[in-house]
Structure 1
Amino acid sequence: MKGIIFSVLQEYAGNRHGDEGREAFRRATGLTTPLATSDYPDEKVAAAVEALAELSGKKPEEVLADFGRYFVAESPLVQKTYAAYFRNAKDAKDFLMKMDSVHVQATKALPGAAPPRFEYEDRGSELVVVYRSERKLCPLLKGLIEGIGLRYNGRPLSWREEACMLRGAKACRLAVRF
């Protein structure tokens, strides 16, 4: 997985849990200063999420969702690194509809990148986000969607799950309301 995830996850651990969170991240991943441009094993994200779940008393899925909200709505590193992407979207729906191209652009110069892929079905009052990823980080996507709402609307976007890879579907399908 790309280093930006690790850098922001370390930032998140410190933001939510202070020094104890940063230490839990370090112990779980073996990383003191992850580099945003490096590549790290996916298992290290899972280990860090497990450690933060244990520290917070939450389920790993809850930690992933909270991290997703943080990533888009709160992270200073993300705001700085991806400022142009946020500026180039006129609203939450526009940003969501650009997520596939954003992931492709952000990883095209990174060898071995396997970004998630997104497709969309615009139903007028709802946008169905179809998510495919070998990592199956569905809870992270749900948090990202909520965070996009916080960033653009000042409130989380609501979504309804139509299908999920974690329950055997070939892709996650989330119907997002604006």
Structure 2
Amino acid sequence: MKGIIFNLVEEAVTARHGEDAWDQVLDRAGVTGAYTSLELYPDEELRALVASGAELLDTDPGELTRWLGHEALLGLAERYPHFFAPHASTRPFLLTLNDVIHPEVRKLHVNADPPDFGFDEGEGDALLLTYASRRRLCDLAVGMIDGAATHFRETSRLTHDVCMKDGAEACVLTVSFAPAHA
């Protein structure tokens, strides 16, 4: 996994819980925490950070991963505003993941292995997404979708209908968006 994700995780944890909490997460995970954005790090290291963070914060690892995804997406929006600027809302932004954003990620970060998304716009306002990744980090993806909604000042309603963690080849998510109330 690219170091930028680790950088965003560190920023989220330290912003919410402080540098001491991040140091404790690193100690419990048994990792150094010296991440550079362009380097590639073992996926197991992120899993160790999530496990130790969940234990330290007394929360469910999936819930923590979703929160980290939410915060990471907001961090990506700050770092790469050109990916977000052309879109007025979450839905059209998500529809660019495979065709615009992930190819650019691959250009910027050699050896990047972003997930694949499938989309079925169907009828009504619901968007059917499939998520496939060898990492099976669907909780991170769900958090990132929610973070995108926050970025675009919307709320998301998402159901996780089928999950790779239950043996499926891909996750199936149904999501809809509405303007956030002030």
Whether these two folds match at TM > 0.5 is yes
**Which residue is equivalent to 2:163?**
164
Q: Counterpart of 2:92?
A: 94
Structure 1 SS opposite 2:128: strand
Alignment TM-score, normalising by the size of structure 2? 0.88
Alignment of 1:14-93 (within 5 A): 14-27=14-27, 28=29, 30-73=31-74, 75=75, 78-93=76-91
* 1:134 equivalenced with 2:134 (yes/no): yes
Provide the aligned length of Structure 1 versus Structure 2.
174
Q: Secondary structure at the match of 1:158?
A: strand
Q: CA RMSD in A?
A: 1.6
Q: 2:180 — aligned with what?
A: none
SS at match of 1:108: helix
Aligned partners of 2:119 and 2:129 also within 8 Å: yes
**For residues 80 and 176 of structure 1, what CA distance do their matches in structure 2 show?**
24
The answer on whether the counterparts of 1:29 and 1:45 sit within 8 Å (CA) in structure 2 is: no
Q: Deviations over 1:17-41 (max 9, x none)?
A: 1122220343226334411111111
Provide the TM-score with structure 1 as the length reference.
0.90
Is contact 2:77–2:83 with CA below 8 Å preserved after alignment? no
1:47-72 deviation line (CA, Å, top 9, x unaligned): 11111101110011011000111112
Residue 150 of structure 1: SS of its match in structure 2? helix
| Contact 1:104-1:115 at 8 Å conserved across structures | no
User: 2:25 touches 2:56 (CA, 8 Å); kept in 1?
Assistant: no
Unaligned runs of 5+ in 1: none
Contact 2:105–2:112 (Cα < 8 Å) also in 1: no
C-alpha distance 152-80 of structure 1, shift in aligned 2 (>3 A): closer
- State whether residues 132 and 170 of structure 2, in contact with CA within 8 Å, keep that contact through their aligned partners in structure 1: yes
Change (3 A) 1:175 1:48: same
Secondary structure in 1 aligned to 2:18? helix
In 2, the alpha carbon distance for the partners of 1:99 and 1:110 equals: 15
Query: Percent same amino acid among aligned pairs?
Result: 30
Q: Give the Cα–Cα distance (whole angstroms) in 2 for the partners of residues 2 and 29 of structure 1.
A: 19
How far apart in 2 are the matches of 1:22 and 1:135? 23
